[in-house]
């Protein structure tokens, strides 16, 4: 069976229309419910504390927006029809749909497949080549995120190119499939920091003065972990205005200790700074 989307995120299934229900309030309830289950589970606690850091603190953004918000959007439909339906992809590349149903699927099914095995192997080879090349001419420089180039949000960012080098592609990690959402969140957190030892190796060889990245690192939180362990200054620049449910920045009262955070974070305007100081839990 297959589904497709209308322009306004309605699902079309068996010639019927399924209307999305947007509720940040219900999404937050689901978010807190699942996170609490993990925190009281002794087996999970052995896994989410790594090098004395609570790695759940860097997995909250994707968990809220890629799973909780999307699940609530189609909750009744998912409960009735399950998550094994195929999605008819839009062939018009200029016409973008947010695939909420597919995002819930992807969060649970992980990323272990032949295509990603090959992609990860190539990226790892390039990573060590990048270290070798820069070890000759680019030690003791500032590291900057490659996403600063070509992104209109950072077009006014002044980077001193003579004393900086651009980071390579992120080192992604395999995330196994799990239909249990608590386990899926735990696997996502573990995958996000799995390559920190490789980045520690790179830092010891190249000795960067500081590292500047966007705040939303996706699969590259391994670098933040490595920076904290090696005591290398790691700075973030926000990818967007700060809102109440930017979970990796604003945080949650459920996590209070051993947080894996940037040393500094730059926001778009002082109103966002004041908002974070007033409302931020982290």
Full DSSP string of the chain: -EEEE-TTS-EEETTEEE-----HHHHHHHHHHHHHHHHT-HHHHHHHEETTEEGGGGSHHHIIIIIIHHHHHTHHHHHHH-S--EE-----TTS----HHHHHHHHHH-S-SHHHHHHHHHHHHHHHHHHHHHHHH-TT-EEE-GGGTT-GGGTT----GGGEEE--S---------SSHHHHHHHHHHHHHTTHHHHHHHHHHH--SEEEEES--GGGHHHHHHHHHTT-EEEEE-SS---TT-HHHH--TT--SSB---SEEE-SSHHHHHHHHHH---
In which residue are the tokens 């947007």 written?
22
pTM: 0.93
Instruction: Tell me the per-residue pLDDT of 242-271, one tens digit each, with 9 for 90 and over.
Output: 888 999 999 999 999 999 999 999 999 999
Instruction: Tell me the per-residue pLDDT of 126-156, one tens digit each, with 9 for 90 and over.
Output: 999 999 999 999 999 999 999 998 888 898 8
Pick the CATH number of 123-171+195-282 from 3.40.1350, 3.10.20, 3.40.50, 2.40.10: 3.40.50
Residue 220 or 237, more confident: 237
Domains in the chain: boundaries: 1-111, 123-171+195-282
Portion of the chain with pLDDT greater than 90, in percent: 80
Q: Do 243 and 61 contact (CB within 8 A), yes or no?
A: no
- pLDDT at residue 95 in the model: 62
């Amino acid at each position: 069976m297959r589904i497709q989307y209308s322009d306004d995120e309605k699902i079309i299934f068996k010639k019927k229309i399924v209307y999305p229900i947007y509720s940040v309030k219900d999404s937050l309830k689901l978010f807190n419910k699942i996170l609490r289950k993990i925190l009281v589970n002794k087996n999970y606690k052995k896994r989410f504390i790594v090098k004395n850091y609570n790695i759940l603190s860097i997995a909250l953004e994707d968990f809220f927006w890629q799973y909780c918000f999307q699940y609530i959007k189609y909750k009744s439909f998912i409960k009735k029809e399950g998550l094994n339906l195929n999605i008819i992809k839009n062939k018009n590349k200029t016409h973008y749909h947010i695939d909420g149903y597919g995002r819930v699927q992807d969060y649970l099914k992980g990323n272990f497949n032949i295509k990603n095995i090959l992609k990860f192997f190539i990226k790892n080879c390039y990573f060590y080549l990048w270290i070798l090349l820069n070890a000759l001419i680019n030690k003791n420089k500032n590291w900057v995120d490659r996403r600063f180039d070509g992104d209109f949000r950072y077009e006014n960012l002044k980077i001193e190119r003579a004393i900086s080098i651009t980071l390579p592609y992120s080192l992604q990690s395999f995330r196994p499939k799990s239909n249990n959402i608590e386990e899926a969140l735990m696997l996502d957190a573990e995958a996000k920091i799995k390559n920190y030892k490789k980045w520690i190796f790179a830092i010891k060889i190249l000795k960067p003065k500081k590292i500047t990245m966007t705040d939303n690192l996706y699969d590259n939180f391994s670098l933040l972990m490595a920076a904290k362990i090696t005591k290398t200054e790691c700075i973030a620049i926000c990818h967007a205005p700060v809102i109440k449910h930017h979970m990796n920045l604003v945080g949650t009262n459920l996590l209070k200790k051993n947080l894996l955070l940037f040393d500094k974070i730059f926001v778009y305007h002082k109103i966002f700074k004041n908002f974070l100081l007033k409302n931020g839990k982290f």
